[in-house]
Structure formats: structure tokens, C-alpha cells
A and B are shown apart, each in its own frame.
Chain A
Amino acid sequence: MRIGVVVGFVSTVLKSMAPILLIPVLVGYVYGEPTTTIQPFISAAILSLLIGYALGFAAKSEKATTKEAMVAVALGWILACMVGALPFTSVGMNYLDAVFESVAGFTTTGTTLLLRIQGIPKSVLFWRAFIQWVGGLGIIASFSVFLTGAANKLLPQIFFAETSKIESQQVTQNASTMIKALWVVYLGLTVLEIIALSLLGVGLFDAVTHSFTTVSTGGFSTYAASIAAFNNVGVEAVVVIFMFLGGLNFVVLNNFLKNKRKINFETKLYVGVIVAASALIGADLAFNGASGFQAVRESVFQVVSIMTTTGYTTANFIAWPKLSQMLLVGLMVVGGCAGSTGGGIKVIRFGLLGKLAWREIRKVSLPKLSLNKVKIGSKIVGDETLHAVAALFTLWIALLFVGGAITAAATGYPVFESFSGMASALGNIGPSLIPASEIPLLPDAVKFTYMIGMLAGRLEIIPLLVLLHPSGWKRFP
């Protein structure tokens, strides 16, 4: 591995962070906030710019291999989160908590360590929402497209390392054009939601911040009660629609808008799971005493929020019947579609694993020599892809188990609650069956575990493990 190539990417990321850090300064200026609030953003911007340029001297601008791209992406994310954490230290957080908040932002998780949201300056609240929006489509590839001219030849590997590894084959053709097209869709969705929320009487600041965290399926809210604070069915409906769109594969969404109106296997499965889970949970709630309207309203919102890994809440599902809780934790693991802003293992991977299982059952009764491939529609899915999916699934479950065990050991929460906490972190969701008010009080070991979980989940584990694996640092390319 050539350190210079990796350093080049990291330098780009740090340099790109500077202008992004200055946007909340404008917000602070508009709302007339004191310089003490604005100061940390400016310091952080200058710091990242300086380090970015300093590292630039060691940078080598050569074509990256897949390994280098993966390492660069993992390091880039960690550094972006560390720099993005600096402004949070001004609202009374220690640095570890600030980094946690930042990681929960960039990875679009949305777990907060802020004990009280009231009284937090608007610039900081804006920053929380804004880093989720920036993190939603993947920072490194986007920075490279918008800010460096040389990026184009390196882009496919970066994009591959940063997004779901399933659909990437389609993207490598012209990654730069594709990323730009996706940003247009992303920006369009965000603007549409801002308009929709404004029309429903939501103030501009709340409309913007919530749109940022809806479309990115992030879930940070400017209210402790999340979307429930609005107490408005219209707002909930709009948020549900945009969460749903954020959980779709953006490549598919982009094609759909370009008149290729074909609904693919993953989208069908995604809709199917949402409908089935909403129906089951709605029935469970109604059976346990909720009115019909309330059951539908609460179940649909929570299901879409958890499945898309946004993590907004309109109901306290910690008090829900156990079946509903079980289903919600199941949805945390499934997550959104590949190539969406959502986290989790991804719908398509579950679809493929299901088909793989079905193939093994079918194999028993088929003639020995007959072909028995996994198909999506009339396309054969190669065994290579299936192996990758199975490996990722295994790693996911292993991390879930380790994180759950650490939670249980360090806190004494019941087993299922402990697992839900790690599932929420790995799936980039936010809320879990651990009460939100108790999250800031978690031991540092658990916070650190969840931080790793959030990053691992966002980068789909492999890049982070390449960083930790000894062979990642060997000289072979």
C-alpha cells in the first residue's frame, strides 16, 4: 500500500471540511448568536484546512487500488468525524462525547448525547442536521467529485468502498456523472420536503433541519420529542414519504425519474416488508388497546422510520407490546435499499440470502447435474456476489453479538435491550430499546463500541476491517 495515495484522500477530505464548517457560521450570524458560539466552527475550519494542506505535501496523486481506496475511505471518515466533533465541545460535551455526536451525525445514525436540546445554539443544531445531510450520500466520493479535478480516475474504487457493494458494478462506468446525478436527486428531494413542511406551517429552521435529517435518513431532530413535537398528521405523512424515498436506491430512483419506470426486485421487497411490518405492528397495537387510527398512524411512522434507518419517533416504542418491539429490531437489521442513504444490512442482501437458502432446499430434490443458480428476475446472480453477501452478513451478526455482549456486560441491561442498542448503532438508526434519556449516561466503553459500530455499519464493515487487518498495511498493492 502506498501511504502517499491514502494521505492524498485524507488531505482532500480535511480541506473539504473547511468550507462545510463555515456554513453554520452563517446560520449563527443570521440568528445573531454570540461569537463564543461561532468561534469553534471557525477554529475547526482553520485547523482542518491547515492539516489538510500540510498533508497535501506528502500526497501522491496516483491511481488508487481497491485496498488503498478502502483504507482512505475508513481514515477519511474517522478524521471527518473527529474534526466535525470540535463544535460540539462548545455546548458542554467532552471530546469523546463530541466525537460520538459527530459520528452519529456523519453516519446518519442520529443517537444523541445531548441531555437537553433546549438552549443549544441554532448554529450547533444546524451543524448536527447538516453533517447528516452531508454524510447521507457518502462524503469522500462526493468531496472528490466536487472539489478535486484529479479525482475522476480514482472515483470508482472510492465510490465502491463507500456505498453498498451490490449495485456498484452499474456505477463504475461513469461514477462522476452518476454521483452528480444522485446529488441532484438528493438536493431536489430535500428542497421538496422543505417546501412541503413549510406549507404545513413548520418554521423555516425546523423545516430545513428536519428535511436534512429525513432525506439522509439521519434522524437528528431539533426537539427532544422528535417528530412527535409537531403533533401534526400532515407533517408525519410528509416525513414518512421522504423517509421512504431516502431509503430507496438512488440509482433506481434516478432511473425512475428518467422515465425508466421499472420497479426492481429490491424495491418490491422493500415496499412489501414495510407494508407487512406496518400491518402486523398496527394489528398488535390495536389488539393491545390503541384506536384504529392511532394504531395505523403510529405503526406506519415507526416502521418506515426504523426500516429506512432514520430513527425519528412519534411514539414511545419502548412501552409497546413485545411482538412489535421484536419486529422493529428485526427491521433495524434489514435496513434500507442498497445505494440509499439508509443503513442496515440492506433489503437486497436479505433477498439474496433468502434466495440462496431456497436454492439449497431446492437442490436436494433436483437432479444432481441440473443448473441451480440464484436468479433475480431473469438475471443470474454470480456466486462471487453471494459469497460477498454471506460474508458481510456473518460479519454484521458477529459485530452485533460482540457489541451486544459489551453493552450487557458494561451496563446490565437485559439481553434483548443490549442487542437492540448495538443493532441501532450498526444499522445507523438512532433509537433503540434503551431509553434515549439513558444513552448519554452509558459507560465510555459502550459509547466507544457504538461509535465503531456506527462507522462499521455506514462503511459496510469491510473498509474498517481492512484498516485493522495486518495485510492492509503490507506493501503489496
Chain B
Amino acid sequence: MYSIICGLDAFGRKLLEGLLKKGHEVVAVEKNEELALEVHAETNAVVINGDPTSPIVLEQTGVSKADVLIANMPTDVENLALCVLVTTILSAQCTDAQVDKVAPQLFKRFPTPEKLAEARQIELEKIIRSTGYYKAKARHLKAAARMLVNEFNGVVPNSMDELMKLPGVGRKTANIILEHAYNLTQGIAVDTHVWRVSRRLGLSDKNTQRGIENDLMRAYPRRDWHKINYLFISHGRAVCRARKPECGKCVLRVPAPII
């Protein structure tokens, strides 16, 4: 059996030794360097010193081939994040892949807002065609670029109000831009996944983006806001799908989320 143990406290350690003794293949992940080194010294397990809730670290454990993953992190928040991340990787669903493919082409053809503002509508549509709603998106891109050049000196603004003036940019997009471009957490980006997951989990009963965002902002401490979007999206894609959700596999269903 191929097992991954995340978190090497006394319990994780004992589990590791037990599995090794029975001849199982075990990979252990531990954030604390001292602890990781200690287990590395005293056992023959493969020990990774890193944060298992980081996708880069988790990828290294060969999680997709593992039979069991034991989330044994110090806090439930970490355990939850880990489980969500694992299910995302396992489901290998990524509709953003198309966007990732198109974006470099777009930026190569139109490297500055000035160039994008002067782009021909037809050419723009051709490049972004595969992402869907391409006519509207192309129109918005051109208009937003023009406004950036004319009103913001070609620089993407860093306030919610200014961002929301841009065509095609709503609260959700503005939140994401602020978070990723400027490292400013002003709210929680609510897209269709966050919307659905929040309502299904009973975190909100509102029917508007703003209402759900407010409920979530009340439910979580500010330092965790930036995680909500990607965690809920991951969960919403992998398990809590719009149609036929996999409630049987849902890690949030059980009180103690240890698989």
C-alpha cells in the first residue's frame, strides 16, 4: 500500500512507524524542519519538509498514485484545505486551462494597453474565441483597455471603486485583481462556484453576489479571505458540482475531516 502522511506529530509518527513495519510504502510530509529531520534520521520513510497544503509540495508526494492520504495537520483548517486540494488534483479538472493557453497569445500580440485599445475587433475575437462569449469579451477588453489608457495613464488602478468603472469588471473580478496584483484583501470574490458552495453548505442564504460576499466575510477571519475563493472553486468543481454533486465523497460532510 502507498500511503501519504501529512503532519508528523506523535500520532502521525506512530502511524508512520506502524505502516513501515508492515512493509508499506510511506511518504511523510511535515512543515516543521526539526521534526522532519528527526523522523528522517530515525526512520527509513521518505520525508518531505514542506507545507502539504501547498500544491507544489503535495504534487511531489505522488498523491495521484497514493492509496491513502492521512491529513494529520495541527489544525482543522489545514486539514480541510489539504483535503480540498487533494480532491482537486485527483479530479484533474481545470477549465482555466483554456484561458492559460489563450492569455500568452493575447499578450504577445497586444503587449500594452495602448495596443489592446487599438486592436481590431475581429482579430481579438479570433484569439479569444475558444474561451466562450468571445464577442462580448472582446468588446469589453477593447473598451477597458481604452479606459485604462485615457483615464488611468495605462496603469491598472488599485481601488475597488476605480476598478469597477472598467467595462466588464464587477466586484468579483475587482476582488481578484486587488488580491493577486496588489496583494490587497478587500473582500471575497464570489463566482458561480463560491455562490453555490456557500449556499449548499448553509454559509449564506442570500440571492445576490454582494449578500453572499458579506455573509462569507462575517463567517471567516480577514486573514483567510484570500483562500476562500480558490478553495470553494476547487471544491465546487471536484465534489460540489452544480449537477450531480458527489455528496458521498464530500469531506465537509463528516465532523472530523480525516480520510
| CB-based contact A369/B60 at 8 Å | yes
| Contact residues in A for B62 (Cβ distance below 8 Å) | 367
Q: For the complex, give the distance between the alpha carbons of A370 and B62 in Å.
A: 12
Answer yes or no: B173 CB below 8 A from chain A CBs. Answer: no
| CB-based contact A370/B48 at 8 Å | yes
| Contact residues in B for A378 (Cβ distance below 8 Å) | 41-42
| Contact residues in B for A369 (Cβ distance below 8 Å) | 48-50, 57, 60
Answer yes or no: A60 CB below 8 A from chain B CBs. Answer: no
| CB-based contact A371/B36 at 8 Å | yes
| Contact residues in A for B42 (Cβ distance below 8 Å) | 378
| Contact residues in A for B68 (Cβ distance below 8 Å) | none
| Contact residues in B for A379 (Cβ distance below 8 Å) | 41
| Contact residues in B for A370 (Cβ distance below 8 Å) | 27, 46-49, 60
Answer yes or no: A380 CB below 8 A from chain B CBs. Answer: yes
Answer yes or no: B40 CB below 8 A from chain A CBs. Answer: yes
Given contacts A378-B41, A380-B40, contact A371 B49 (CB under 8 A): yes
Q: Mark B191-217, 1 if CB is under 8 A from A, else 0.
A: 000000000000000000000000000
Answer yes or no: B61 CB below 8 A from chain A CBs. Answer: yes
Contact of B37 among A367, A368, A380 (CB under 8 A): A380
| CB-based contact B41/A367 at 8 Å | no
| CB-based contact B60/A371 at 8 Å | no
Q: For the complex, give the distance between the alpha carbons of A189 and B60 in Å.
A: 55
| Contact residues in B for A373 (Cβ distance below 8 Å) | 37, 40-41
| Contact residues in B for A375 (Cβ distance below 8 Å) | 40-41
Which residues 15-44 of A have a CB within 8 angstroms of B? none
Which residues 31-72 of B have a CB within 8 angstroms of A? 36-37, 40-42, 46-50, 57, 60-62
Interface size on A, residues (CB 8 A): 11
Interface size on B, residues (CB 8 A): 15
Nearest CB on B from A371, distance (A):
4
Q: Mark A349-388, 1 if CB is under 8 A from B, else 0.
A: 0000000000000000011111101010011100000000
Q: For the complex, give the distance between the alpha carbons of A371 and B48 in Å.
A: 6
Q: For the complex, give the distance between the alpha carbons of A371 and B29 in Å.
A: 10
| CB-based contact A380/B41 at 8 Å | yes
B49 closest partner in A (C-beta): A371
| Contact residues in B for A371 (Cβ distance below 8 Å) | 36-37, 40, 47-49
Nearest CB on B from A374, distance (A):
10
Q: For the complex, give the distance between the alpha carbons of A92 and B27 in Å.
A: 71
A380 closest partner in B (C-beta): B41
| Contact residues in A for B36 (Cβ distance below 8 Å) | 371
Which residues 413-441 of A have a CB within 8 angstroms of B? none
| Contact residues in A for B40 (Cβ distance below 8 Å) | 371, 373, 375, 380
| CB-based contact B37/A366 at 8 Å | no
Q: For the complex, give the distance between the alpha carbons of A367 and B57 in Å.
A: 10
| Contact residues in A for B41 (Cβ distance below 8 Å) | 373, 375, 378-380
Given contacts A373-B37, A380-B41, contact A367 B46 (CB under 8 A): yes
Q: For the complex, give the distance between the alpha carbons of A367 and B66 in Å.
A: 14
Q: For the complex, give the distance between the alpha carbons of A404 and B9 in Å.
A: 56
| CB-based contact B61/A367 at 8 Å | yes
Nearest CB on A from B49, distance (A):
6
Q: For the complex, give the distance between the alpha carbons of A369 and B31 in Å.
A: 12
Which residues 261-306 of A have a CB within 8 angstroms of B? none
Q: For the complex, give the distance between the alpha carbons of A366 and B44 in Å.
A: 13
Q: For the complex, give the distance between the alpha carbons of A375 and B36 in Å.
A: 14
Nearest CB on A from B17, distance (A):
12
Nearest CB on B from A193, distance (A):
40
A362 closest partner in B (C-beta): B46
Q: Mark B213-232, 1 if CB is under 8 A from A, else 0.
A: 00000000000000000000
| Contact residues in A for B49 (Cβ distance below 8 Å) | 369-371
Q: Which among A368, A370, A373, A378 has the highest number of chain B CB atoms within 10 Å?
A: A370
| Contact residues in B for A367 (Cβ distance below 8 Å) | 27, 46, 48, 60-62
Nearest CB on B from A139, distance (A):
38
Nearest CB on B from A465, distance (A):
34
A372 closest partner in B (C-beta): B40
Q: For the complex, give the distance between the alpha carbons of A249 and B60 in Å.
A: 42
| Contact residues in B for A380 (Cβ distance below 8 Å) | 37, 40-41
Q: For the complex, give the distance between the alpha carbons of A375 and B40 in Å.
A: 9
| Contact residues in A for B50 (Cβ distance below 8 Å) | 369
Q: For the complex, give the distance between the alpha carbons of A367 and B42 in Å.
A: 19
Q: For the complex, give the distance between the alpha carbons of A373 and B50 in Å.
A: 16
Q: For the complex, give the distance between the alpha carbons of A380 and B42 in Å.
A: 9
Nearest CB on B from A264, distance (A):
16
| CB-based contact A368/B47 at 8 Å | no
Nearest CB on A from B219, distance (A):
34
Q: Mark B159-174, 1 if CB is under 8 A from A, else 0.
A: 0000000000000000
| Contact residues in A for B46 (Cβ distance below 8 Å) | 366-367, 370
Q: For the complex, give the distance between the alpha carbons of A39 and B37 in Å.
A: 64
Q: For the complex, give the distance between the alpha carbons of A354 and B101 in Å.
A: 47
Q: For the complex, give the distance between the alpha carbons of A367 and B48 in Å.
A: 8
Nearest CB on A from B63, distance (A):
11
Q: For the complex, give the distance between the alpha carbons of A406 and B27 in Å.
A: 53
Nearest CB on A from B152, distance (A):
41
Nearest CB on B from A294, distance (A):
44
Residues of B within 8 A of A (CB): 27, 36-37, 40-42, 46-50, 57, 60-62
Beyond A367-B46, A367-B61, A367-B62, 10 extra complex contacts between A and B, CB < 8 Å: A366-B46, A368-B60, A369-B48, A369-B50, A369-B57, A369-B60, A371-B36, A371-B49, A373-B37, A373-B40
4 closest A-B pairs by beta carbon, nearest first, are A367-B60, A371-B40, A378-B42, A370-B48
Subset of 20 A-B contacts with CB under 8 Å: A366-B46, A367-B27, A367-B46, A367-B61, A368-B60, A369-B48, A369-B50, A369-B57, A369-B60, A370-B27, A370-B47, A370-B49, A371-B37, A371-B47, A371-B49, A373-B41, A375-B40, A378-B41, A379-B41, A380-B41
